[in-house]
A and B are shown apart, each in its own frame.
Chain A
Amino acid sequence: MKKFFPFISVLLLMSATQSPPGLFEVRKGKIEFHSSAKLELIKAESDALKGLVDLGRKQFAFKVALNSFKGFNSPLQQEHFNENYLETETYPDASFSGKIIEDDDLSKDGTYTIRAKGNLSIHGVIQERIIRSTVQVSQGKIKLQSSFTVLLSDHDIKIPRIVSEKLSSEISVQILAELEPK
C-alpha cells in the first residue's frame, strides 16, 4: 500500500525540475482539526500543508508534517497527540493523494465543487476516501477549501480507555489552501 508515496515524490520531483502547464503548488496552506468530546475539546492547526495539483491530469498530492501542529489546549495534550495517538516519530506525515473525479475544466475562472478521490494516509494506515472540496479559480490562482471527518478507528489510532471519554472517535478536519502555478 506504499505505492502512493512514489507518486507523491514524482510530483514533487516534477515541481523541482520543470513546470508543465496546469501544475499548481500550495503557497499558503492551513490545516486544522478539532474533536468535540464529552469533557475536553481538542483542537490544533498547522501552516505546514504542502501540496501539488495537476489540473491537466486531474491529479493531486497533499502532505503535512504532523509535528507541525500547534495550538493544543496544553503541552501535555500535544505530547499525547504526538507520542501516544499518532506516533509521529514512526509516522511523521499525513498525506492525501489521488485524482479529481469531476469533469469540470478547472482552468477557467469560477467556483467549483469537486470531489477528490484518493488514499488518505494517517498513522501509517491508508484509507480510500472521496473528499468534497470547493475550488475557487480566479486570475490563475486557486483557492481550495475542504472539510471532512476522520474516524480514529479507520486509521488504527487507539485511545487509552482512561481518556476515551475525552476524545471523540471522530475528528473534523478543515483545509484552506491557496495555490499558484509552479
Chain B
Amino acid sequence: MRSTTLHIILLLLFTSPELEAQTGFAQVYTIDENDENLMVQSLHSDGRGFIWVGTKDGAYRFNGRQFINTIPDSLRSRFNVTAMAKDSIGRLWIGTSGGQIAYRQAGQWVMFMPEEGLPRKAITDIIFDRHQHLWFAAVDEGVYMYAGHRMTNINMDDGLPDNYVYSLEAMPDGQVLAGTDRGIARILLEKAKKKVAVYASRDGLPDNIVRSIAPSSEAGLYWIGMEDNGIFLYDAIHNRDAGMRFPKPWPFGRVNDLMSDGKSLWIATEDSGLLECSVSNQGVGTYLNPLPSLNKAGKLMTDAAGQLWFSTPGQLVRTTVTQMGFMDSIGHEVFTGIHALHITTDRTVWISQGKGVEKLIQKDGQWMVSDRYTFPGIALEDITTLYLDTEGILWIGTIGAGILRLNTSTGRWAKLTGNPVTENSHILSIAGKGREVWISGLNGIARYNIFEGYGLNSQPVFTNYSKRSGIGSDYVYQVFIDSRNRVWFCTDGAGLACMEDNQIRSFADSPGLKSSVVYGMTEGPEGTLWFNTLESGIVQYDGRKFTAFYNLPGNQGGSVSSILSNGEQLAIMHKRGLELLDIHSGRSIHYGRNNGINRPQVNLNVMALDAEGSVWIGMDPGIIQVKKRDPSARLMPVTLITALQVYGRDIFPMDANRFDWSDNNVTIRYEGLHYPDPDQVRFQYRLDGYHKGWITSSDREVNFPRLAPGNYRFRVRSAADNRFELGEEKTLSFYIGMPFWKTWWFIMGSSAIAVLLLWLIMRQRFHQLQQWEKLKQDKIQAELQTLRAQVNPHFLFNSFNTLMGVLEENPEQAMTYTEKLSAFYRNMLSYREKDLIPLQDEIKMLDTYIYLQQQRFGQGLHYRMEIPGNQQHQYFVPPMTMQLLAENAIKHNTISIDQPLQLRVTLEGDRLLVSNTIHRKKHPEGGEGVGLRNITARYALFTSREVAIQDDGRHFTVALPLINTNHYAHPDRGR
C-alpha cells in the first residue's frame, strides 16, 4: 500500500454578484499519482466508515488526511475501478473495467469468482438486494444476479430494453430497477423466472438514457437522472409517472447521480456541478447551485457526519451544503459585518450592518434585499438589536440613540421618546411576546405594552425596572422571555434575575451559577434554560438547580459571544468558530476554518432561529444558515483499530491473538475518522496490563517494544473536542506467551533432571572417594610390602651372607658393599614418603640394588641400563617401581652362570621398558602379582596411561609410562 500526496484546497465559494443563492463550503482533495490527478470514477463508504475512491489505477482508501491505494503496484493497471458497493456486513465490493469483481475482507482484496465466470465487460454498477443477493451490470451484457452459487443473466432476450445498463437500485420488495439506454427496467426474479417491466420514452419518460436512479423519501417513488432531459420521478410500484412537476428547461447537462435527503434533492450534473432543489407536493423548486465554481459533478455520497461528497474531474469534494448555507452578498451588496439579525416566522430576515436596516426575503430559493432603511439626522453609533412586534413595528436598539421604531408597512420611522431608560441610551437587547416588548441596556429595563392598531404616533405605556427593583444591576446584556412567560435578566455584576408573577427574584448566589456576569441565554428542550456565563461556561438550569454543562476546549472563559438552542442542539458562537453541542449526548462538533467559518462575529444579537429550526448567524462577512442537524449524523470521530503488527508483520485477524514470548514487539495503528475536521482529532489509549491510566496523543500509532509475557487489552478512543469520555472505545486483546523456561512443565522437568544429575555426580564422587581410599590403602600396602620385602629376613640374610663372602675375599670391597647397602636403605626410607621421584633417583636406587645383588649372583645377573643421562632429568616415576620389578625378576627366576638373568632397562617413546629373561624357578615363591598390582594402582593415580605387562615366554617386559615434569609440575607435593 502506498499513500499519495494530498492536496487540500479550501474553497469558500462566494456568490458572484449576479447570483443570489446561498453558497456552500467545499473542501477539495486531489489524488496525485505520478503527476497526474486521478479521476474519481466511483465513490463509496464501507461499513467501518472509511471513504473509498475508485480510480483507473485502483481503489484508494481515504481517512480524511491521505489516500492509500490498496491495490499492489503490479496489479493497478488491471484494477480500473468503475463500480463500488457495500454489502450487509459492511464489506466493500469493487467492479473493474475488465469485468472483475472483488471484495475487501480482513485487509485484503478477495476476488469474486463464480463458477460460471464473469463477463469481460466493464462493470457499471453493483448492488445487493433485499435478500443480500449480489446484482451487477456489465456494459452491453445486461444485468447479472448471483444467488445460491448460480448466476442469472437478464438481457434483451428476457425483455430488458437494452443491454447497456448504467445503474441499479434495489427496491424493498426484492425487485431491482435498472437504468438503461432505452428506459427504466423493473426486474423481478422469482423461481428462475424473469419478469421485466419497462418504462421508456414512449411511455412518457422524458429521455430514454437513464443514467441514475435514487430512492425518494416516499416509498416506491424513485428519482431518475437522465442523459439529456434532467430529472424525473418514477412510480416503480405502478410503473408510471409519479406526476411530479419540474421547472423547465434543463440546461445543466447529463445527470450523473442523485441523492435525496428528505428536504432537498441533490443532483450531480455534467455541465453545472452540484444542484439543489427543494421538493414538495407542489413540485420541484428552482434548481440552485450552491458551489458555482465546481461545474461538473460525478458520483454523490454522504458520510456518517451527514456531509455530502462528490467527484469532479481530478478531485474529490467534501461539502457542508447539506448542513450550512452561506450568504455573503446579495446582488452587488456584500455584507461586510452583521451587527444585529432578527428572523420572523415567515422567514423574513432583518439585518443591520451598523447604521441602517435591511429586509431580506427569499423568492424561488433566491434571496433578495426587498427594503433598505437609513436614519438620517439620528446620532447613533451602532445598531445592536432588532425586534419586529405583532403590529409590524420594527424596534431598533442602538448605541447612543436609544430605540428607533420603524413601521414596516409604511417605511416611516421615529425615535422613541418620553422614557429616560430608553431615550438616547445604550440598548443591548429587545425581547417581546404578545403585547409586551422588553428592552434592556445600560440604564436598566423598560417594559412596553402595545395594543392592536397602535402605531408610531401612539405612545405605548411603559414600566421601568432597575437594580433597586431586585435585578441587582442596571447593566443588562439580555432580557429573555421563556416559554412559561417568565422574564429573565442577564446582568453584568449581579448574575441572573427572573421575574415571575411580577415578583423579581435574584439567582446571584445560586450554587452552580458562580458567575456574576451572564452574557445571554436560550431555552432548550423541555423548558431547560441555558446560560452563557463569564466564569462557569455554559450553565444549564433544569428548573431546580444550575449545572455547569460545557466549557470550550481550552476553557476560554468569556470567549463565547452568544448561544442559541434549536431544541436539540446548542449553537455556541465564539471567537474561533461555532460549536454545535448536542444537548442529549453532550457531544459537540466544531465548525471553524476547515468548514468555511473564518472570521466569526462576536456581536450579541446576531443569532436567530427560523421556523424550520435553522440557526441564522450574522458574521463578518456574511450570514450563515446552520440547518437543523439530522440527529443520526455523527458528531464524534469513528474510532477504529486498523492494524496490529508484531515486528512490523501484519496480523489478521487482529483480536484475541496469542503470541510467542519472543513476538513481544507490538505495534497498533488506530484511526479516528472525522471527515469534517480530521486535524482536530486526538486520541486516548491505554494498554491494560501495561499502562495505569489513559495516554493522550495525536499519533495514530503506538509501539510497545518489549512486552513481558501476559494478557493485554489495548483500548483506544478518540475525540475532536477533547471529550474522550463520551467517545466510543475500541479494544484489542492479545496474549504474549511465557518463554518455555518459565512454563511449569519445563521447570518441573528440569528440576527433576537437575536432581538426577546431582545424585549421579554425588554417586560418582562417592565412588571416586572410595577409589581414592582404596588406592591409598593399596599404596600403604605397597609401602608396607616394600618395607616388608626390604626388611625381608632373606634379603638381609642374603645380603649379610654376601657381605661375609666379600669380607673374606676383598675387605675393601666389603666397605663399599656396606656403604651401598646402607645407602639403599636410607633412600628407601626417604623415597617412601613421596608420590613421585625423578627418574635419575630411581635409576640410582636400581643401580645400588643391582650392585648389591650382583655381589651375590656375580656373572648370573646381567644388567643393562640403556637410558641416556639427559633423558633421565625430565621424567618422574613412583619410587621403587623399577627396584620392585628387579626384585620380582630375581625372586621368580633361577639365576646361574649357565642361565644368567638378563635385566634390561630401555626407553621407548615415553615409556620405560623393564624386561628380564625368563627361567622360572621350579618352586616359585608366594606373593606373585602383588607387586605388579601395586605398581599399576600407583600409576593410575598419576596418569591415564596404563602399565603394560608382556610375557612372551622368553622375556617378561613391563612398560612403565613416564610422567613428564611439564605435565606434573609439583612432583614433591606432600601427602
Binding site for B on A (CB under 8 A): 99, 101-103, 115, 117, 130
Docked complex Cα distance between A130 and B208 (Å): 12
Residues on A with beta carbons closer than 8 Å to the beta carbon of B227: 115, 130
5 pairs of A and B residues whose beta carbons are closest in the complex: A103-B202, A101-B208, A103-B201, A101-B181, A117-B181
Residues on B with beta carbons closer than 8 Å to the beta carbon of A103: 182, 200-202, 208
Residues on A with beta carbons closer than 8 Å to the beta carbon of B164: 117
Q: How far is the CB of B962 from chain A (nearest CB, A)?
A: 99
Docked complex Cα distance between A101 and B162 (Å): 9
| B:193-237 near A, CB below 8 Å | 200-202, 208-209, 227-228
| B residues contacting the other copy or chain, number (CB 8 A) | 11
Select which of B162, B200, B209 is within 8 A of A130 by beta carbon: B209
Q: How far is the CB of B41 from chain A (nearest CB, A)?
A: 14
Q: How far is the CB of A126 from chain B (nearest CB, A)?
A: 12
Docked complex Cα distance between A99 and B202 (Å): 17
Contact status B181-A102, CB under 8 Å: no
- Majority-rule SS of B interface residues: loop
Docked complex Cα distance between A101 and B209 (Å): 8
Q: A101-B182, A103-B182 are in contact. Are A115 and B202 (CB under 8 A)?
A: no
Chain A residue at smallest Cβ distance from B164: A117
Given A101-B181, A130-B227, 15 extra CB contacts under 8 A: A99-B162, A99-B181, A101-B182, A101-B208, A101-B209, A102-B201, A102-B208, A103-B182, A103-B200, A103-B201, A103-B202, A115-B209, A115-B228, A117-B181, A117-B209
Docked complex Cα distance between A101 and B227 (Å): 11
Residues on B with beta carbons closer than 8 Å to the beta carbon of A115: 209, 227-228
- 11 A-B residue pairings within 8 Å (CB atoms): A99-B162, A101-B181, A101-B182, A101-B208, A101-B209, A102-B208, A103-B200, A103-B202, A115-B227, A117-B181, A117-B209
Q: How far is the CB of B259 from chain A (nearest CB, A)?
A: 24
Q: How far is the CB of B35 from chain A (nearest CB, A)?
A: 16
Docked complex Cα distance between A125 and B294 (Å): 29
Residues on A with beta carbons closer than 8 Å to the beta carbon of B208: 101-103
Q: How far is the CB of A138 from chain B (nearest CB, A)?
A: 23
Docked complex Cα distance between A103 and B181 (Å): 11
Docked complex Cα distance between A115 and B227 (Å): 11
Chain A residue at smallest Cβ distance from B180: A101
Residues on A with beta carbons closer than 8 Å to the beta carbon of B162: 99
Q: How far is the CB of B610 from chain A (nearest CB, A)?
A: 44
Chain B residue at smallest Cβ distance from A105: B202
Residues on B with beta carbons closer than 8 Å to the beta carbon of A117: 164, 181, 209
Docked complex Cα distance between A117 and B163 (Å): 12
Chain A residue at smallest Cβ distance from B163: A99
Docked complex Cα distance between A1 and B297 (Å): 28
Most chain-A Cβ atoms within 10 A of its Cβ — which of B162, B182, B202, B228? Answer: B182
Docked complex Cα distance between A147 and B202 (Å): 26
Q: How far is the CB of B927 from chain A (nearest CB, A)?
A: 116
Docked complex Cα distance between A101 and B180 (Å): 10
Docked complex Cα distance between A135 and B209 (Å): 19
Docked complex Cα distance between A103 and B205 (Å): 11
Chain A residue at smallest Cβ distance from B203: A103
Docked complex Cα distance between A102 and B162 (Å): 12
Docked complex Cα distance between A102 and B227 (Å): 12
Q: Mark B173-187, 1 if CB is under 8 A from A, else 0.
A: 000000001100000
Docked complex Cα distance between A55 and B368 (Å): 54
Chain B residue at smallest Cβ distance from A101: B208
Chain A residue at smallest Cβ distance from B201: A103
Docked complex Cα distance between A101 and B164 (Å): 11
Q: How far is the CB of A5 from chain B (nearest CB, A)?
A: 15
Q: How far is the CB of B211 from chain A (nearest CB, A)?
A: 11
Residues on B with beta carbons closer than 8 Å to the beta carbon of A130: 209, 227
Most chain-A Cβ atoms within 10 A of its Cβ — which of B162, B181, B200, B228? Answer: B181
Docked complex Cα distance between A115 and B208 (Å): 10
Chain A residue at smallest Cβ distance from B120: A3
Chain A residue at smallest Cβ distance from B209: A101
Residues on A with beta carbons closer than 8 Å to the beta carbon of B209: 101, 115, 117, 130
Docked complex Cα distance between A99 and B201 (Å): 16
Q: How far is the CB of B36 from chain A (nearest CB, A)?
A: 13
Q: How far is the CB of A92 from chain B (nearest CB, A)?
A: 26
Residues on A with beta carbons closer than 8 Å to the beta carbon of B228: 115
Docked complex Cα distance between A101 and B207 (Å): 9
Chain B residue at smallest Cβ distance from A102: B208
Docked complex Cα distance between A101 and B181 (Å): 6
Docked complex Cα distance between A99 and B164 (Å): 11
Residues on B with beta carbons closer than 8 Å to the beta carbon of A101: 181-182, 208-209
Residues on A with beta carbons closer than 8 Å to the beta carbon of B182: 101, 103
Q: How far is the CB of A83 from chain B (nearest CB, A)?
A: 29
Most chain-B Cβ atoms within 10 A of its Cβ — which of A101, A102, A130? Answer: A101
| B:307-350 near A, CB below 8 Å | none
Docked complex Cα distance between A117 and B162 (Å): 12
Q: How far is the CB of A113 from chain B (nearest CB, A)?
A: 11
Docked complex Cα distance between A65 and B162 (Å): 31
Residues on A with beta carbons closer than 8 Å to the beta carbon of B201: 102-103
Docked complex Cα distance between A10 and B162 (Å): 20
Residues on B with beta carbons closer than 8 Å to the beta carbon of A99: 162, 181
Docked complex Cα distance between A115 and B202 (Å): 15
Q: Mark B134-171, 1 if CB is under 8 A from A, else 0.
A: 00000000000000000000000000001010000000
Q: How far is the CB of A26 from chain B (nearest CB, A)?
A: 24
Docked complex Cα distance between A87 and B181 (Å): 33
Docked complex Cα distance between A101 and B211 (Å): 13
Q: How far is the CB of A103 from chain B (nearest CB, A)?
A: 5
Docked complex Cα distance between A130 and B209 (Å): 10
Chain A residue at smallest Cβ distance from B227: A130
Chain B residue at smallest Cβ distance from A117: B181
Q: How far is the CB of B524 from chain A (nearest CB, A)?
A: 55
Chain A residue at smallest Cβ distance from B183: A103
Q: How far is the CB of A23 from chain B (nearest CB, A)?
A: 20
Docked complex Cα distance between A117 and B208 (Å): 12
Q: How far is the CB of B832 from chain A (nearest CB, A)?
A: 114
Docked complex Cα distance between A52 and B200 (Å): 26
Docked complex Cα distance between A99 and B209 (Å): 12
Chain B residue at smallest Cβ distance from A4: B140
Q: How far is the CB of B80 from chain A (nearest CB, A)?
A: 13
Q: How far is the CB of B683 from chain A (nearest CB, A)?
A: 45
Q: How far is the CB of B928 from chain A (nearest CB, A)?
A: 113
Docked complex Cα distance between A102 and B182 (Å): 8
Docked complex Cα distance between A99 and B181 (Å): 10
Docked complex Cα distance between A130 and B226 (Å): 13
Chain B residue at smallest Cβ distance from A58: B182
Q: How far is the CB of B776 from chain A (nearest CB, A)?
A: 105
Q: How far is the CB of A128 from chain B (nearest CB, A)?
A: 8
Q: How far is the CB of B142 from chain A (nearest CB, A)?
A: 14
Chain B residue at smallest Cβ distance from A128: B139
Q: How far is the CB of B161 from chain A (nearest CB, A)?
A: 9
Docked complex Cα distance between A99 and B156 (Å): 14
Residues on B with beta carbons closer than 8 Å to the beta carbon of A102: 201, 208
Q: How far is the CB of B903 from chain A (nearest CB, A)?
A: 115
Docked complex Cα distance between A181 and B971 (Å): 132
Residues on A with beta carbons closer than 8 Å to the beta carbon of B181: 99, 101, 117
Q: How far is the CB of B493 from chain A (nearest CB, A)?
A: 71
